[in-house]
Structures are given as C-alpha cells and as structure tokens.
Amino acid sequence: MRIAIVNDTLQAVEAMRRVLTGTTRHQVAWTAHDGTEAVALCARDRPDLILMDVIMPRMDGVEATRRIMAHTPCAIVVVTANVNDNFSKVFDAMGAGALDAVNTPVLDHPGALGGGALLAKVETISKLVGTNTAHRRLSAVGSILRPHDHQHDALVAIGASAGGPAALATILSRLPADFPAATVVVQHVDAQFAPGLADWLGQQTPLRVRVTQEGDRPQPGTVLLAGTEHHLVFASPTRLSYTRHPLECSYRPSVDTFFKSVSRHWRGRVIGVLLTGMGRDGAEGLKELRDQGHHTIAQDKFSSAVYGMPKAAAELDAATEILALDKIGPRLTNMQARKERN
C-alpha cells in the first residue's frame, strides 16, 4: 500500500518510515508535519492509508481527519506517542472516521517497541480495504418486532467501526436511565483501548457502560462492550462468550459473527443497529436478523463518517429503517416505550 505519515516529530516519522520500508508490500507516499499540510497533500495525492498523529501544531489530527474524511476520504490510523494518555483525542479522531489507533514505534528499536504492532495494524487495514484504493472514494464503498414464545428482555445489538465512538456516544446519550432493553455493542477497536472507550462512553450516558466479561448476561440499564481480540458471541440464550472462530475475519471482533449469534440464540425481541464503518462487516448479520422478523436499523449516508458498512446493509435490504444518527436513539427509546405500554 501507499502510506502517508503525518507527524511533527522527525524521530517518529523516521521510525514509522523504517517499519514500513522494512517490507516490500508498502511504500511511503508522502510525509506531512501537521494537519494543515496533510489535508493539502491528501487533496493532491490521496494515499491508501494515512498514519495520523493527534497532537500537532496549527491543525491537530482530529480536525485533519475530519476534513480528509469529508473531502478526500481514505483509511486513517491514529499513531501517537501514548494512546492511553490521549484517549479523548483518539476517540475524537475515531469519531471523525479514523479506523484504529496504535502507539508510535521507537526509532532505536522499532521492531521491539511498537513496530510490530504498527505493521499488524497496517496489514489488517490492507485486508479490509484492498491494495488498490488510492483513487477510490470511500463514500462510494460505503416493522413491528416479531412475537416470540420465550419473552426475555429486549436486546439492542449494535455494530460499528470507523466513526463509531462518536456515533455510539450520540445514541447512548439519548437513552434514558430506565431504558428497558439490554444493550450489547461490538465496536472495531483494539482490545487495549476497550476499557478506555467504555469509560468514555459511560460519561456520555446515564446507562452503565463496561467491557463484557466471559459469561456475562445482558441486562437492562447496562451497555456491554466487546473487549478482546476474539469475537463476542452468545454461547447460549442468555450468556455471552468470546471465541477465536472464525479465524479468517479481517476485523476482530466481527459484527457479523456477533449478529449471527444473536439470531441463533436470543429468544426475546431484538433491534439490530449497524453504524458508520468501512467495509461490509455486519451487513450479512443484520440481514439475518431482519429475515427472522427482527427490527433492524442502518445509519444513513449523510450522518456516517464512513458510509461502508451501513451502505452494504442497505444494498442487501438488511435494514427495516435507514435513519440519521440523531434519530436512532430517540427511535430506540420510542420503540421500547411503545412495547412496554402494550
């Protein structure tokens, strides 16, 4: 892939350049020292992937990501000195459309201190978007609930990728503290960032948000977030589990794998929601939920940071409704309130 580097520290730029040029599969397209320069360069020469720092002069990586995704979208991974110290900025960048985040490799020991992690991220993105994306716009990639014999609590199952943290915050902030459905979220995010994402989302909503533990039971009032490199699935009608399979998925955890396990095991009512993200993960699983009579929602094009996953769902006719982001939370609340009255 042709990869651009955006960082104001020369040592960081050189460390990333060494990691990328250490393999014949990738080349450095260009480098920029701040967000303003990156936006201008991307408009003239769009790469396959941008490695974007978040703390820079003139224009930070969050605003640069937002402008690039609005005008010349391409895959972006946040690479910053310490992700744990910059959670807020990282999640803001992911909300603007960045796919993932990783610590900056160290120049003296790029293989031991971050080079391997960075290269793994690059390889994952390569599988997700393909290697011939340099001049393709990502924006182009991009009922009544059925009765059940077993009346468990309703389940809201949500899948998201690029742009997901901000989208999730928008939805969860509109849900009341007494929201009567259990909620489970699969967001494409590195496992080491999941606890920070749960804490951050918990500040946006009256609901409790935490990382899912093996054997957890979804319950009203709590939002469970996938939190390991393995796939989150229902192992039984009431209990969640993690599994390594399927092994071939480009993203772990997989939204498709989760949605399909919901359709197989959950005996109550389901609302499936597929949000902004690159690729097609979740579209087939959402279709399976709809085919079983469950209500399904896909985010619309204009409110999606990256219109890939919800676009794929729309093409499969997997969504009962296609809604703007700010309409999804109120819709979930209204559906549950109406069901409670009935």
Distances (CA, A) of 166 to 97, 141, 160, 173, 251: 9, 21, 10, 10, 19
Q: How many angstroms separate the CA atoms of 100 and 55, rounded?
A: 16
pLDDT band, residue 189 (cuts 50/70/90): confident
Q: What does the alpha-carbon distance between residue 275 and residue 281 come to, in Å, rounded to a whole number?
A: 10
- What tens digit of pLDDT does each residue of 258-298 get? 999 999 999 899 999 999 999 999 999 999 999 999 999 99
CATH class, domain 144-341, is: alpha beta
> Over 80: is that where the pLDDT of 202 sits?
yes
Q: Where are the domains of the chain?
A: 2-136, 144-341
The C-alpha atoms of residue 55 and residue 87 are separated, in whole angstroms, by 12
The pLDDT, as a whole number, for residue 336 is 83
Q: Which fold has domain 2-136?
A: Rossmann fold (3.40.50)
2-136 matches 144-341 in fold: yes
Catalytic sites, residue numbers: 161, 188, 281
The amino acid at residue 203 is Q
- Per-residue pLDDT tens over the stretch 74-124: 999 999 888 777 778 888 888 888 888 888 988 665 444 458 888 888 988
122-178 pLDDT per residue, tens: 988 887 766 444 334 343 333 333 333 334 579 999 999 999 999 999 999 999 999
